[in-house]
């Protein structure tokens, strides 16, 4: 993913978290907003491998849709996402490999 596209995505995530403008310190944000800030940082890092632990936790419906879109776009662009989750995810167009661990 190009740097320009990553920055556009991070701006979208930032706006979705209602923190831009004005910029607020992360300590005053809700859990879901802090999660979105972390995901915006992930978008700008340029890493090919994303390791995500419960990426949908604490997000509202709009935030879940944003994360699903971010992951889908990352994988379509050639990236890889390894995740743990207890929540169903909608990754249209992708065929995830699933490992179920349980009793």
**So what's the pLDDT on residue 80?**
93
**46 is a domain residue:** yes
**99 is a domain residue:** no
Instruction: State phi, psi for 22 to the nearest 5 degrees.
Output: -85, 160
**So what's the pLDDT on residue 11?**
53
Q: Which residues make Cβ contacts (< 8 Å) with residue 87, sequence separation at least 6? A: 54, 56, 57, 64
Asked if 10 and 50 count as a contact pair (C-beta separation under 8 A), the reply is: no
Count the domains in the chain. 1
**96 is a domain residue:** no
**So what's the pLDDT on residue 76?**
92
**89 is a domain residue:** no
pTM above 0.85, yes or no: no
What does the pLDDT profile of the chain (103 residues) look like in tens digits?
A: 455 554 454 455 555 444 454 566 777 888 877 887 888 888 888 889 999 999 888 888 888 898 899 899 999 999 999 998 888 888 888 888 888 887 5
**49 is a domain residue:** yes
Q: The domain spanning residue 74 has which CATH number?
A: 3.40.50.300
- What is the span of the domain harbouring residue 44? 3-84
**So what's the pLDDT on residue 101?**
80
């Amino acid at each position: 993913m190009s740097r320009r596209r990553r920055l556009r995505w991070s701006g979208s995530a930032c706006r979705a978290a209602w923190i831009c403008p004005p910029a607020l310190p992360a300590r005053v944000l809700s859990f879901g907003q802090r999660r979105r800030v972390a995901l915006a940082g992930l978008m700008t890092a340029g890493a090919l491998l994303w390791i995500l632990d419960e990426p949908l936790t604490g997000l509202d419906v709009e935030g879940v849709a944003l994360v699903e879109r971010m992951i889908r776009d990352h994988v379509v662009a050639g990236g890889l996402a390894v995740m743990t989750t207890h929540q169903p995810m909608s990754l249209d167009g992708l065929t995830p490999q699933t490992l179920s661990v349980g009793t």
